[in-house]
Amino acid sequence: MGLSAPPPPAPHLIRRITQLTRGPAAVRGVTRASVFLLESATHLTRSARKTPMSARGRARRLAWMAEQMGAVHGIDVVVRGPRPPEAAVLVANHLSYIDAIAVLAHAPALPIAKREVAEWPLLGELMRELGVLFVERGDAMSGARVLRSALRTLREGTSIFAFPEGTTTLGDRVLPFKRGVFGLARIAEAPVVPITLRYESAEPCWVGDEPFLPHYLRTSARSHTRVHLTFGDPMTPSAYARAEELAETARHQVAACLCEA
């Protein structure tokens, strides 16, 4: 797949960006991130045409991308707990688009993401090249296709990462976990690793109907963003009678860890 350059921003958008940045920091951050993504997407597209990457190779490349994006945006991750084993189902509470950067930089995996992300300029194209599994929310057939792809990935020895809440919060609670990936873990006999994410303030959280661009510009203007990331002990799916029970136990562990902070 080729990658065409995005159109230049309209004058009103440029004015809005200027108002939101309050100085050059966000502009520099966005520029660095855009150049990095464009160069990476071009390189990966050429590489994929020559030698298709395995699932493990894609996960490792995503981990490298996450690490670089974290450095570009000043994301400081404080990690606790044992690193997840390979071919695990990683599940975390969801606060922001920063979450995936923090997790994947420390636990290579192929993530499941909502289909809208595939339409983001630069980033969507790049994630398609790297094998991110995109699901159409509310579409049962799309969900089934993604779970089949995720099952193949696990059986090839590569982890899957998902946000089973299905939406973001301010970190003051953990919403019910949807059962989909937990049923997958039972079929694949893959361990489930609960992951707790916490920020030192609510500013990085992206919730409700706030547009992406204003929030991203504020995030890019920050000198650093600290994320506390806690890996729980792997859970054995066969120890639970149903996927719903496994999901609720994982949710309880994430919520308990969040309360301890």
User: Each residue of 152-204: pLDDT tens digit?
Assistant: 999 999 999 999 999 999 999 999 999 999 999 999 999 999 999 999 999 99
The whole-number average pLDDT for the span 58-79 is 90
Asked if the structure places residue 1 within a domain, the reply is: no
Specify the pLDDT at position 38: 60
Asked if the structure places residue 178 within a domain, the reply is: yes
In the predicted model, is pLDDT for residue 256 greater than 60? Answer: yes
Asked if the structure places residue 122 within a domain, the reply is: yes
Helices (H), 105-242: 123-129, 140-155, 180-188, 212-221
Phi then psi for residue 201, to 5 deg, are -145, 170
Q: Report the candidate in 130, 123, 80, 78 with the shortest Cα–Cα distance to residue 102.
A: 78
Specify the pLDDT at position 31: 60
Asked if the structure places residue 6 within a domain, the reply is: no
Asked if the structure places residue 3 within a domain, the reply is: no
Asked if the structure places residue 5 within a domain, the reply is: no
Portion of the chain with pLDDT greater than 90, in percent:
53
Q: Can you tell me which residue has the tokens 């395995």?
A: 54
Q: What is the CATH number of the domain that holds 26?
A: 3.40.1130
Asked if the structure places residue 2 within a domain, the reply is: no
Residue-range definition of the domain harbouring residue 186: 11-260
Specify the pLDDT at position 259: 87
Give the pTM. 0.83
66 or 220, greater pLDDT: 66
Q: Is 140 helix (H, G, I), strand (E, B) or coil?
A: helix
Alpha-carbon gap, residue 146 to 136, rounded angstroms: 9
- Give the pLDDT band of residue 22 (cuts 50, 70, 90): very low
Mean pLDDT of the chain: 83
Asked if the structure places residue 4 within a domain, the reply is: no
Give the count of domains, the chain.
Answer: 1
Q: Are 91 and 181 in contact (CB under 8 A)?
A: yes
Alpha-carbon gap, residue 203 to 256, rounded angstroms: 22
pLDDT in tens, 87-133: 999 999 999 999 999 999 999 999 998 887 767 666 667 777 778 89
Pairing relation of β-strands 225-231 and 192-199? antiparallel
Phi then psi for residue 174, to 5 deg, are -125, 120
